[in-house]
Structure 1
Amino acid sequence: MKVLKQNQYNQGVGKYKLLSSTSGVGSIITTKLGSYVLISDIHKWKFIKWVNSKIENIRTNNTDDRRVYELSKYEISNRGLEFIDDQRFIKFIKSEKNLENLVCLVGIPHMALNESFNTPNWKNHPIKTALKNAGEQYDGVSSHYMISGTHFPKWFKNSDGELKLIREWLTIWEKECRKYPDTLKLENFAPPRDALSKKAFIRELNSKNEDGNTIKIREYKTLEQTNLILICPNGHLSDIPWANYLRWKTEKYLRLRSDEDKGQNLMSSEMVGPCCSNPKLKWTESKTKSEGYGSIYIECNSCGLGSGSDNKPKINLEGINSLEPYCIGQKPWELDSENPSITPYENCFIRNDNKNGREKMRIALVTANNVYYANGFSSLFIPMHIAENKPKELIEAINILEKKYIKYFERTAITKNEYWRTKFDFNDFIIDNDINLENEGLFRTQLESEFLNNKNNIEISDKHEEYRWQEYRCFSIHSILPDVEINKGLRFKDIQLPNELVNLFKKIQQVEELRVTNVQLDFTRVKPKERIVVNGEVRESSSGQNIFSIDSKELFTLPANETLGEGLFFEFSNESIDRWISDNIVVLENRFEKYLKELPSHNSQGLSSKMKIYNNKYKHFLIHSFSHLMMRELEFSCGYPTASLKERLYISTNPEKQMSGLLIYTAEGSEGSMGGLISQGEPEKILEIIKKGLERSIDCSSDPLCWESDGQGIFDLNLSACFSCSLVAETACEEMNLGLDRRVLVDEDFGYFKNIQT
């Protein structure tokens, strides 16, 4: 495959990877050609921009939210895009991210690339067919359904070591195109190519134009991208200003700057500035010295700085890791392709600093782990009427009524009681909003109670726990969820528990159908965003950067990935857990003393995981360890590798929302709805699987070290658990493989399952 044209310059990225923890808006992808591409914000994705604009028009002409939702669903589906129907999730995101006008979620299209030409397989694509049927333009618009990106870092060098920004290389390319108008076009600057060096030209190649006629194309050597960038704890990203660095490092070498100067003003043209008015930088790597920054030299061919002559010492990159320039708040993922010379920015200050000190950046390799941490969220589809335990009509009516009241309250301050008594007409409300009722009297009583109930005004302290509680309650209080239209996307039923499991579990369910939707909420750099719950109060370690660049009030849609699958739900008996803890309290207190004795320090690393363990105590180790035991055993029994499975933990010691369960389901990207997983939940099989899993947990190839361990894994948050016996694929575990101890399951003295082992 030869990439010689802009319309071939594509990179295949799985759509499920785009919303994973390592990829998404603001992440840097390494292409198969060796260059680095920064994923643009979602409003540079043309299909998202189109959907947002379409919904804006619909909202302009309709005030009924139900009508807006249905029309949006029709318009999006009619163009071949996936409309993800999960209103519970939309309600949560609106609250979590303060997106008051969010209407819907849109699936990321699957755009496969032709391996021979590196172009999308558009000819028979379902979106093209849908556009054609809808009378929309479908020729030449395949790129509208692909994800946009921009080169980053912007610095490229040729084989002679000449270092320039990509826009400078493009200017040189434009001049070369004017010299050879018949055999060279702007679109041939893909990937970025060198037209400056005398050795850059390779040969002329035969190619075809748009009409299929044979033409000649001049081929040039590709440029090499640098791999060092500056990252900020607030999520900002900057290129290193190499001309400024050369001047700063020279002045440091000549003792013109203090030892305490760590390049704080490197990004300032007034305080440091470039080496000269017309820098011509050269990057050379010594072949005689050992690998490392000390063997990389930079100089300017214009002013001679860094050349090693006169009073201009040779300058290398040794010590560059100690650079700490003040951040200027750049957001290159929001670059407009039509005006790429202007990088969007914002003011950047240290978070949680009363003095509002300026934040400092640090050096990183583009491939380093700390360059990007996505903050995503996954939702298990639960129908709204089940999640909120209310009739569908009541949910719709209360939403409409609350909206009407807020609009009235903005003009005239009035209490809800006064509004209901003096301004609200129930009959007109029912007719105007086309609400069909069987018992109007009962409905009026329910609506009044919901509207006037003070609970509506209470802010839920932990929205994440409330969201999980809705899912847990759905499985816990229902023995079966039948396959009917209103529940489409979720179907499950209880199994008959074997006698040996009756006292240990409240129920086990076969989840025959489920839908899981993933979105990216924001992202951070340097450190991952941690969500910490202390005494019921939620705080986050950082706010993160948004994945959109428009005003939040103008945001009507978000990209998402939806997967269908199957699963097994286990609900432990709370009475059995309490009895187990009571019977073994002395052993458990001694074993887990270091985790539970005192509140973890608020400055400690891994605070989020430590607080979950501290809050949920022994129950966390019990349920999480059992989840891993089951995933590892299911790998043998039904053939799914653990990378194709995922856990969803329901653990809480909150007296009002006690949760003691887990869901194991087929994960994103896997073919997970073929019945292989739920077949293992048959009553005659489930006991055997649990017994075999427990038996495997007794022996570990790392014993006795693993069995007797008093701390292993990150932050020593695992006890008797290692890769040989308990850990699973990182994508399968919700808690980074932390908070595990197989001895709480199988220890012959205090194990929860000690009485059912073979």
Structure 2
Amino acid sequence: MQNIRHDLRLSETVSPFGVGAIVDVLGESLIAPDTSWWDRRTSPEISCDRLVAQLGPGVLKQAPTHAGPAGKDTPSLLYWRFPAWRFCERCSKLSKLTGIEKGKFRNSCDCGGALVPMRYVAVCKTGSHIQDVPWFKWSHRGSDKGVTEEVRFCRAYTELRFVRSSKRGEGLASLRVECGKCKRSRPLSELVGVDSLIRDGIRCDGRQPWEPEGPTTQTCEAPLVAVQRGANGNYIAERVSALDIPEERPRSLQIIEQVRSHDLFTRLIDDNGGPKSEQIAGWIAEELNTETEQVLEAAFASSDEPGSPVHKLKDGEWAAFVKKMERRRDLTQGNFVVDGWTRDDYSHRNGGIHAVLSGVGQVRRVREVRALKGFRRHSPDADFIRADLDRDPKHRPVYPALELFGEGIFLQFDEAVLAQWEAQHSVRARAGILAERRSQSEWANRLDVPEPRFVALHTVAHLLVRRLAFASGYSSAALQERIYANSDRPDKTAGILIYTAAGDAQGTLGGLVRLGDPRHLFPLLLAALDDADVCSNDPVCIESDRQGASQLNLSACHGCALISETSCETGNRLLDRQLVLGGSEVPGLLEDILKAVRMPVL
């Protein structure tokens, strides 16, 4: 272990260099251990009850920070060197020993050359484990032809060399590990073959690099594969975020409470769906200013019975936004300030948009809390590794977290317009393509259900982010999306939140919320639709229905609809321009708006 200090941005401790991730810093390769190794005294706690309820019992902790140069007593996080095997740039010596000079650790060879981490590591296919490639063992294994008695009994652990020679071929064939004593030599091309480590008898250690070997280590029978240490599949993080908003009960739950507290509720239940039920429900509906069908559903609903699933985070957020929109000008103080514009405020502007948008919100201040729940390796269906591996049952799990402050724009779409549009057979068939592919994928079930409204609003959000990046002063990667589009919930949602939340200077500069004024927003939205109407990759893009990872995009590519993956909730998946702007066989949600704007005035 080396007492060397390096600086990371605070946000990087959650993503992309959170627990279990490999970090390259100034020529060194490090890995972040789980939070049981954190100094709990120097890690400030973050409060967000809504997020803790989603993660489960535990506590949110922020990594310790410092201002100015890092000193000896500065609070810090521990990182382990990984991979431990390194080679010298000058003499090519391969080892995992760390030299000491004048009582201090150094990252250089005895010859004075810099030590470079080995490019390849071994990852477990299904157990989410990662370990060093045992280079000495690997280099002395292989085909029986090259494994002589001298090679088999060689113990010259300090004689390994990592050499490059174009005489041996190109690519990995030119990179070899050689033993100076027994002269055994193997190219890296033999390392990356199918089941190569299995044939060499190299097994998974069943642990993470920072975990000590011991009786608690569980055996892992999953096969190992050799991969480059910087490969994306080595670290698949699972992060959860929540907006810090006043928790509001959805409209459906409010109706249930009002119905069940009504004086006639007992008579309605006693009739149990009999001939008088509809009449009694009508009396209740008249007093509560609602529909008879809603009263009957509320009376016999079971969503609030003990043991029912907790409503998703977005349900409470949607209810809070809707309430803020009703109040128009927001004079409150706190971390959730939204000024609302209704259809009456902008119906005279940009003909057509007011028919689709029922409200626009300028989110002047919002607080977001992000937490790292855990990670997987190699594939999304591998075993899940928690961010806290402490096995003490008395210890509350600690989740690395980060609180961010920002601003944004909220768009509320008209539910009646959406319902009428998505009821069309061609629209449902188009979205059904993505739904079928999602159901066939082993990992895509973690994504939102691609019903028509979700795909359309998700694509609109991407188009608007691309346009806002030019006008707001924020970079595209600094903008985030949050899609509220679900017709299967008791309270149907249909909205988009585009916001920025950052821990540095790009926090609340005002450039985004200013554009939330309909005078500025509607021209930007029309320009975004106009940009997407013709893609630089057309006609290939518009005619394609097999794009993106696992073919989970239809007509959407980098030329028209894709944005930074860190800005998208679904990693640039479940997008389709045709459901927004229309196609040869499918009507688009906003197709008529663009046509009306382009229609010449007579």
TM-score by length of 1: 0.64
The 3 A distance-change label for structure 1 pair 275 and 26 is farther
Corresponding position: 1:646 with 2:480 = yes
CA contact 1:26–1:547 (8 Å) conserved in 2:
no
- Looking at structure 2, the residues matched to 549 and 147 of structure 1 have their Cα atoms a distance apart, in angstroms, of 17
Letter in 2 for 1:703: D
1:272-299 deviations in Å (ceiling 9; x for gaps): x985455333223324333433333334
- Looking at structure 2, the residues matched to 274 and 576 of structure 1 have their Cα atoms a distance apart, in angstroms, of 75
**1:751 counterpart residue number:** 588
Corresponding position: 1:375 with 2:238 = yes
Q: Map 1:311-390 to 2 at 5 A.
A: 314-321=185-192, 322-324=196-198, 325-334=202-211, 346-349=217-220, 358-384=221-247
CA contact 1:237–1:330 (8 Å) conserved in 2:
yes
1:368-409 deviations in Å (ceiling 9; x for gaps): 112111111111112346689999xxxxxxxxxxxxxxxxxx
**1:89 counterpart residue number:** 51
Letter in 2 for 1:566: E
- Looking at structure 2, the residues matched to 305 and 459 of structure 1 have their Cα atoms a distance apart, in angstroms, of 67
Letter in 2 for 1:162: K
**1:667 counterpart residue number:** 501
The 3 A distance-change label for structure 1 pair 712 and 278 is closer
Q: Secondary structure at the match of 1:704?
A: coil
The 3 A distance-change label for structure 1 pair 327 and 505 is same
- Looking at structure 2, the residues matched to 255 and 657 of structure 1 have their Cα atoms a distance apart, in angstroms, of 73
The 3 A distance-change label for structure 1 pair 250 and 711 is closer
- Looking at structure 2, the residues matched to 513 and 685 of structure 1 have their Cα atoms a distance apart, in angstroms, of 19
The 3 A distance-change label for structure 1 pair 753 and 517 is same
Corresponding position: 1:491 with 2:337 = yes
- Looking at structure 2, the residues matched to 291 and 676 of structure 1 have their Cα atoms a distance apart, in angstroms, of 52
**2:451 counterpart residue number:** 617
**2:259 counterpart residue number:** none
The 3 A distance-change label for structure 1 pair 361 and 292 is same
CA contact 2:562–2:572 (8 Å) conserved in 1:
yes
Q: Map 1:306-705 to 2 at 5 A.
A: 306=184, 314-321=185-192, 322-324=196-198, 325-334=202-211, 346-349=217-220, 358-384=221-247, 455=304, 457-460=306-309, 466-478=312-324, 479-480=326-327, 482=330, 484=332, 488-497=334-343, 498-499=346-347, 500-528=352-380, 542-551=383-392, 553-555=394-396, 557-582=398-423, 585-589=424-428, 591-592=430-431, 594-596=433-435, 598=436, 600=438, 602=440, 604=441, 607-608=444-445, 612=448, 615-669=449-503, 671-705=506-540
Letter in 2 for 1:93: L
CA contact 2:388–2:397 (8 Å) conserved in 1:
no
CA contact 1:29–1:38 (8 Å) conserved in 2:
yes
- Looking at structure 2, the residues matched to 344 and 366 of structure 1 have their Cα atoms a distance apart, in angstroms, of 28
State the aligned residue count.
527
**1:221 counterpart residue number:** 113
- Looking at structure 2, the residues matched to 560 and 590 of structure 1 have their Cα atoms a distance apart, in angstroms, of 40
The 3 A distance-change label for structure 1 pair 343 and 526 is farther
1:419-448 deviations in Å (ceiling 9; x for gaps): xxxxxxxxxxxxxxxxxxxxxxxxxxxxxx
- Looking at structure 2, the residues matched to 251 and 507 of structure 1 have their Cα atoms a distance apart, in angstroms, of 73
- Looking at structure 1, the residues matched to 66 and 188 of structure 2 have their Cα atoms a distance apart, in angstroms, of 41
CA contact 2:128–2:383 (8 Å) conserved in 1:
no
- Looking at structure 2, the residues matched to 557 and 649 of structure 1 have their Cα atoms a distance apart, in angstroms, of 28
Match of 1:185 among 86, 102, 105: 102
Letter in 2 for 1:676: G
Shift of 1:623: 0.7
CA contact 1:12–1:112 (8 Å) conserved in 2:
no
1:548-595 deviations in Å (ceiling 9; x for gaps): 43535312643311110011111222211111123xx24325544533
- Looking at structure 1, the residues matched to 393 and 481 of structure 2 have their Cα atoms a distance apart, in angstroms, of 32
- Looking at structure 2, the residues matched to 293 and 458 of structure 1 have their Cα atoms a distance apart, in angstroms, of 57
CA contact 1:507–1:571 (8 Å) conserved in 2:
yes
Shift of 1:36: 0.7
The 3 A distance-change label for structure 1 pair 388 and 280 is farther
Shift of 1:364: 1.2
CA contact 1:246–1:305 (8 Å) conserved in 2:
no
Q: Secondary structure at the match of 2:177?
A: strand
Q: Which segment drifts farther, 380-389 or 319-328?
A: 380-389
CA contact 1:330–1:343 (8 Å) conserved in 2:
no
**1:162 counterpart residue number:** 93
Q: Secondary structure at the match of 1:731?
A: helix
1:440-492 deviations in Å (ceiling 9; x for gaps): xxxxxxxxxxxxx99463241xx5x612111112112442495556xx21111
Q: Secondary structure at the match of 2:167?
A: coil
**2:20 counterpart residue number:** 26
Corresponding position: 1:194 with 2:105 = no
TM-score by length of 2: 0.79
Match of 2:62 among 107, 110, 117: 107
Shift of 1:226: 1.8
Identical aligned pairs, as a percentage? 25
Letter in 2 for 1:186: G
Shift of 1:672: 2.7
Question: What is the RMSD computed on CA atoms of the aligned residues?
Answer: 3.2
CA contact 1:329–1:345 (8 Å) conserved in 2:
no
Letter in 2 for 1:237: I
Corresponding position: 1:286 with 2:170 = no
Shift of 1:605: 5.7
- Looking at structure 1, the residues matched to 165 and 550 of structure 2 have their Cα atoms a distance apart, in angstroms, of 40
- Looking at structure 1, the residues matched to 495 and 318 of structure 2 have their Cα atoms a distance apart, in angstroms, of 8
Shift of 1:627: 0.7
- Looking at structure 1, the residues matched to 103 and 492 of structure 2 have their Cα atoms a distance apart, in angstroms, of 63
The 3 A distance-change label for structure 1 pair 577 and 454 is closer
1:70-105 deviations in Å (ceiling 9; x for gaps): xxxxxxxxxxx65422122222222xxxx3xx3x43
The 3 A distance-change label for structure 1 pair 756 and 223 is closer
CA contact 1:566–1:665 (8 Å) conserved in 2:
yes
Q: Map 1:712-727 to 2 at 5 A.
A: 712-727=547-562
**1:240 counterpart residue number:** 133
Corresponding position: 1:11 with 2:9 = no
The 3 A distance-change label for structure 1 pair 150 and 252 is farther
- Looking at structure 1, the residues matched to 461 and 570 of structure 2 have their Cα atoms a distance apart, in angstroms, of 11
The 3 A distance-change label for structure 1 pair 617 and 148 is same
CA contact 2:500–2:507 (8 Å) conserved in 1:
yes
CA contact 1:718–1:738 (8 Å) conserved in 2:
yes
Letter in 1 for 2:240: F
Shift of 1:237: 1.6
- Looking at structure 2, the residues matched to 344 and 646 of structure 1 have their Cα atoms a distance apart, in angstroms, of 45
- Looking at structure 2, the residues matched to 363 and 667 of structure 1 have their Cα atoms a distance apart, in angstroms, of 37
CA contact 2:252–2:491 (8 Å) conserved in 1:
no
Shift of 1:691: 1.9
CA contact 1:229–1:363 (8 Å) conserved in 2:
yes
**1:297 counterpart residue number:** 176
Match of 1:141 among 73, 77, 80: 73
CA contact 1:84–1:106 (8 Å) conserved in 2:
yes
Q: Secondary structure at the match of 2:408?
A: strand
CA contact 2:579–2:587 (8 Å) conserved in 1:
yes
The 3 A distance-change label for structure 1 pair 228 and 107 is same
CA contact 2:245–2:317 (8 Å) conserved in 1:
yes
Q: Secondary structure at the match of 2:142?
A: helix
